[in-house]
Structures are given as structure tokens and as C-alpha cells.
A and B are shown apart, each in its own frame.
Chain A
Amino acid sequence: MSIIAQIKKGDQEAFERLIEEYKLPIYKTAKAILKDEDDVCDAIQDTCLSIYKNINKLKNEKHFKTWVIRITINKCYDIVAKQKLNSKKEEKVQLNETRYENNFANNIIVKTDLENAINLLEEDLKLVTVLYYYNDMSISDISMVLNIPKGTVKSRVFRAREKLYHILNKEEVCINE
């Protein structure tokens, strides 16, 4: 029996395993869209609740991963939309963006991990990168989940790969120096 079928039957352990399996993809997807850690947590909370409430309605289990990611993205966009209404938060977002831009301009990178490098990418590349690398999704699944043409996904992955490689390599050089 599949893990989803087990959950539908009320199997507690199966649900815990599922959360374990998907917590990183959910977290990284939310991080790609939202800058504030509190907002990321809100999005995770909403996402979990939605999955929990709706898993019984899921008919085709092979779409589970794209379904989870779709929900995560929707919840994040809900938060982004709310933020736009809130001028204080808007300022905060702008501040964060400025900080990243400055970092990029001065090549001062505090951490050397991939996450920081992803933060330096343009907005349209971030999400595709996380889905492709962290979530191990295929070009065609990403195209489906974001509703954008495969060609666009491909070109975004291409651009992201080039930039990430460039940024991460530069960091290594800096560290080695």
C-alpha cells in the first residue's frame, strides 16, 4: 500500500514519514519565495494544514509531489499579496532586497552555502532553481506546477546554473585566498 493510501486510512506513522520526506522541499520552496523566516513558517503552517485537510481528495497519487509544491507556492503567494498591503512589511522586503543587491555588488558573502547564492538570483530563477535542485523535479513537472512552458523552465534552469556556478566558484576562490 502506498504511503498516501496509508495516510488516507488514518495511519499516523505514514503521515509522520511523509512530513519528514517533504519538509525540506516545502521549506526550501517557501524560502525561495519569502524572505522573512516568520513568513516562511506561516506558509509552512498553512501548507501542512491544507495538505492534511485535502489529502483524501487527492485522486492521482503520482501527482502528489507537484500537488504539495503547488499548495506551498500558493500559500506563499497569499502571504506575498498580504505583505503588499502592509507598508511596514513592504519596507522590510525592500531592505532585504537592497541588502542582497549590495552583497552581490561588493562580493561580500557571509555564508558560502547554496542558499545564499540562490538568494542572489533574480526572482524568476530562484523558484525554478529550488524546484530543480532541492526538490529534484523534472523540467516537465516544474512546467506543470508553475504553469509555464517547458522552454521557459529550461532557459531559467540554464541561467540559474550559470549564475550559481559563477557565484559559488567565486566564493571558493575567495575562501582559498
Chain B
Amino acid sequence: MNKKDMFIKEKLQEDKEISKDANQIFENFKEEFKIEHKEKKVIEIDFGKFLAVAASFVIILFVGIGVYTNKFKGNSSSEPIKTQETETKQSFKYALKSNSLEDFDLRFLQLENDRKNKIYSPLSIKYTLAMLNEGTEGKSKEEILGLIGEYKSNKYVNSKNMSFANALFVRDTYKQSIKSSFIDNLRDKYNADVVYDSFESAKQINTWVSDKTLELIKNIISDSDIGELNYALVNALAIDMEWENKFLNPINPEALYAHESYYWQAPTQLLSNEFEGVENDVSGMGIIASVNNYDIVGSLGEENIRKTVGDKFREYLSEDPDGTASYYLEGKDIETAVNDYLDEYIEQINNNYKKVYKNTDFLVYTDENVKAFAKDLKEYNGTTLQYVAIMPEEDLDSYINNITAEDVNKIISNLKEIKSENFKEGVVTQISGYIPKFEFDYELNLIEDLKDIGVTEVFDESKANLKGITDDEAYIGKIVHKANIEFTQDGIKASAATLAGGMGAGSMFDYIYDVPVEKIELNFNKPYMFIIRDKETGEVWFAGTVYEPLSLEEEPENQNTNDTIRSYSDFVKDIQVPVS
């Protein structure tokens, strides 16, 4: 240990006091540990893997007339209604022309616009309608076919992260009444399970649903619901997916580019939370990126930079050659030290040009009306889903009232990846923001909504034509569509990879160039809508709105120790995109 260190260490012996208040906190803590531990409340917190976890479930409960007519009376959604010409016309308005995002997918947001946190699955609804179409005839079929139009039901491969399943549950004693052509169609076209059950309890249906929704939806049907039921058609879908690239912790706002006056401003809290009903801080994920398209060497010329910086450095070295300057001199003469320094300086500043930093992979689009953020989930079984959040400047309610698929598709096609070529030349573009986490479930009034877009007869006791399923008289008494979602990150606090200064930021002499910075603020600080879509086909798996995200108080502590210690080189590798 050198003399100066010994001197400082001696001084340190006199400075081992901590404040009374701080000490009290430590003492209190020892006490609290005692109480908490006895109650065994501690340390058993599930940190979650997160990701996006969502599940959806549609069950159509068929009512056999004469056997079961009054079962669902009293439930407004099961009330038979009159079919009107105008409604049939409406069905064409929302007719599907493809599998990708269309007005149909967004219509349910509009129809239920008076409700707040929403989530539903257009994919589930379309699939269920397609299956139902196989069993309808006459005008009932026209209505459904008019709506699903050109929609093609894709088959999906299941895994532990993604489940897509269909089933027809049939009461044992009713087995002979279901047409074999309907069963064959369901099996061939929709990979549907056909399950015969005594229907004495809902156990078998519930177990199937739980199994097919990755255990996210449980006990959906009660024993009394199926008491006198003869058959039910079910679609279940669930995802439990991780982000393709997790969010790294962008806490420390230190300089990223050596020799440039640029600072990484990373939000750790949502700025100016404008969500109603969430008074406290909102829990979420900070996003940050910078794209350095400002070429200092190109604009000023290497010789000029060498002269300006060289002169200042020479001055610095000669002022106090035995002080901090000795670090650079290391026995070299001044000119050699200056040249060595300048070579390194120019190299670093050249390296900074076209450099892209980001704490995670994402896409961004902003204009005067909306802010949009998108991020891919990992590919599972050949399907890559993408989360897209769109926050309008105006109230979400009025935005949704007027929204069209064209608007949303335009936003999606304008989303930019964080790459040098996608951003303005001559400036450093800085993107920073905060995406809230949310978690909720929702039940769509599907019958009412379907009536609005033109499917009416199948719910009408006197008109329903389900002759494709059975020759017995029947209509749809009830449809339940429930969905839930948990949306968050992979241990943001956990990754704890704080970037404290880029290479060279700790040099004792530095000449700092001013760089022009353009900021893109991407804070999702008020209600917004989201979709989770198949990146390739555009098919919308889930859609919804977030009015009340999770507050920090609701969030479990998310400290994942495995990731806490990471090497600097790993970290840089994670956040840096190689210059192409």
C-alpha cells in the first residue's frame, strides 16, 4: 500500500460512524426480520419469468329446444332477438378479407368502449365462428359466412409456451344425435378433440380448459351450467412467452460516448402518470436507445480535431507533469504522449459514429397524434408474436370510437427498428420512455357484440339453424369469452446491469465535443391500446386497452440474483448493435 493510501486509511478509522437515523433503520430491520420470519411470509416470493402471459377461452353452450329451453332465460345475452335487414348489412361491413388485422379485430374495443381494462382474443372469436359455421345452415350460415368471409383457420403446433386447442364436448346419451360429418370436419380442419362425457359435473371440461390454457384459466364452468347441456363447442388459446430480448436495467445516467457531451437519461419511474385510479407510481419497464449519426471527424476534419485537442492536452501535460499528468506520460516525452493520446481519441470518436445503444430490442413510431412501441416475443413453434402499444394524444375513448384497421396498419408499417439507417443523419437520436406493466382479466359480452356485427339468428330460439350439427332443434344459449393477461418484463430490477460510463469516460483529461441531440419521448403515461399479433401473418391474437396499469405497490419485488453479476463485456455485447 502506498503512502497516500495509508494516510487515507488512517483517516478512515476516524470516520466509521453512521447517523443515528440510519442506525435506527438497521436496528428496526433486525426486529422486523424476527417477526416476519416467524410468520414465514418471507422469501417465498415468485419472481415471475416475464414476458407476456395471456389466455383466452371461448365456449359456446348450445341449448336443445324442448329439453332445455329455459335454462338461460334471464340472462340478457341469451334473449332471442329479432333479425333485421340492417344488421345483416352490417355484417358485410366487418366481413374479413384476410387473416391480418381488420376492422373486425378492433370492433370489440369500440363496442365495449365504456369498459376500462380490456383484453380479448380476435383469433379465438374467429376460430370459434369458423367452427360454428361448419354446423349451421340456411340464413344462420349466411350471417356467419358473411362475417368470416375469406378467413382461413390456420393450424398451430402446441408447446408449453403456446397452446391452441378446440374441442366439442358431447353428452354420452346425445352421442347419436350429433352428425358425423360435423365431427369429421372439426377433427380434420380444426384439430378438434371430441370428448364424450356424462356431464354429471363440469370437471372434465374444466380440466381440459385448464390444460389447454397452460393452467391460466381454471374452473370456467360450474356444475349447474352443464347440468342439462347436450353439447358445447370450445376454443382455448394461451401464450406464456418471453421477450425475444429482455429489458436490461437502464438506471445509471452516465455518458455513453467518450469525448461527446451526451448523457443517457434513463427513466426509472413513469413520468407524470395520467392514468385514472392509479395514484401511486406505475410499475413498468424503462426503454432507452440512442443512435449516434453525428460524424464529428467527418464534419470537423481529423487534422482540426488533432490540433484543437492536441493543444489543450499539451497545455494540461505541461501544467503539472508530476501530478495527474504523470498517468499519461509514464516516462514518455510530451509529444509521444500527445500523439498516443490523440490516436486513441480519434479512434474512440470514430467508433462512436453510427453506434447504436439500446437496453432492449424494440420498434418505435411517433407523430403528432400517436406514440407507438412494439417488441417481439420469442419464436415458438414457428410463430413469432409481437406486442404493439399505441397511445393516442387525445382521449383513448374517442380515439377508439373512430379507429380503423387502416390507421393501425399504417402505424404498424411505420414502426422503425432501432438501427442507424432508420434515424436522421447529423444528430444523436435519443429515445427514452417507460412502458407500464399490467395484469387483468376480462369477459367480453360476446353475444351482444356479435349481434352488432351481424350474427343474430343462431341466438334466436325460433330461427337458429344448426342442422349441420344435429337434426334436433337447438340454438346458442350462451357464449362465454374470457381472457386474461399479465404483461411485464424479465426481471428488470434484477438484470441490474448498470452502465456507468463508456470506455474512456474515466480519463483524467478530456476534450468534450458538443453533439446535437434529438429526443423522442416514449412514455406511456396515459390510457393506451395494445394488440398482440402474429408478426408474419398479421393475425391478431389478443387486443385490449390499458386504463389502469399495475402500481408499484402491487408489484412483487423482482430481484433476480442470477443476473446481478455480469461482466462489462457481456453487458456491452447485449446493448450494442454492431455497425453494419
Contact = CB atoms under 8 A, between A and B. Distances in A.
Interface of A: 10, 12, 15-16, 19-20, 23-24, 27-28, 37-38, 40-41, 44-45, 48-50, 52-60, 63, 66-67, 70-71, 73-74, 77-78, 81-82, 85, 113-115, 117, 124, 133-134, 143-144, 146-149, 151-153, 155-156, 158-159, 161-162, 164-165, 168-169
Q: Which of B14, B254, B499, B565 has most chain A Cβ within 10 Å?
A: B565
B560 interface: yes
B12 interface: yes
Interface string B178-190: 0000000000000
Contacts of B499: 147
A58 B496 CA distance: 14
Given A52-B29, A162-B323, A27 B269 contact: no
Contacts of B4: 161-162, 164-165
Given A77-B252, A151-B506, A19 B557 contact: no
Contact of A133 (B9, B21, B34, B269): B9
A118 B504 CA distance: 23
Contact of A19 (B30, B268, B497): B30
Main secondary structure of the interface of B (DSSP, over half): loop
B249 A58 contact: no
A63 B539 CA distance: 46
Contact of B268 (A63, A81, A158): A81
Contacts of B15: 113-115
B496 A70 contact: yes
Contacts of A149: 503, 506, 568
Interface in B1-36: 4-5, 7-9, 11-12, 14-16, 18-19, 21-23, 25-26, 29-30, 33-34, 36
B508 interface: yes
B37 interface: yes
Nearest to A113: B15
A144 B18 contact: no
A77 B498 contact: yes
Nearest to A7: B33
Contacts of B30: 15-16, 19
Contact of B269 (A71, A85, A161): A85
Nearest to A12: B34
Contacts of A151: 506
A147 B568 CA distance: 5
29 contacts: A12-B34, A15-B30, A19-B30, A24-B16, A50-B557, A57-B47, A57-B559, A57-B562, A59-B561, A60-B565, A67-B561, A67-B564, A70-B565, A73-B498, A77-B251, A77-B252, A85-B271, A114-B12, A124-B254, A143-B568, A144-B568, A146-B498, A148-B501, A148-B505, A148-B568, A149-B568, A155-B508, A162-B323, A168-B8
A44 B506 CA distance: 28
Nearest to A67: B564
Main secondary structure of the interface of A (DSSP, over half): helix
Contacts of A148: 500-501, 505-506, 568
B505 A152 contact: yes
Contacts of A52: 29, 33, 36, 42-43
A164 B167 CA distance: 75
Contact of B327 (A66, A82, A152, A155): A155
B493 interface: yes
A33 B12 CA distance: 18
A120 B137 CA distance: 84
A44 B373 CA distance: 35
Contact of B493 (A19, A74, A117, A124): A74
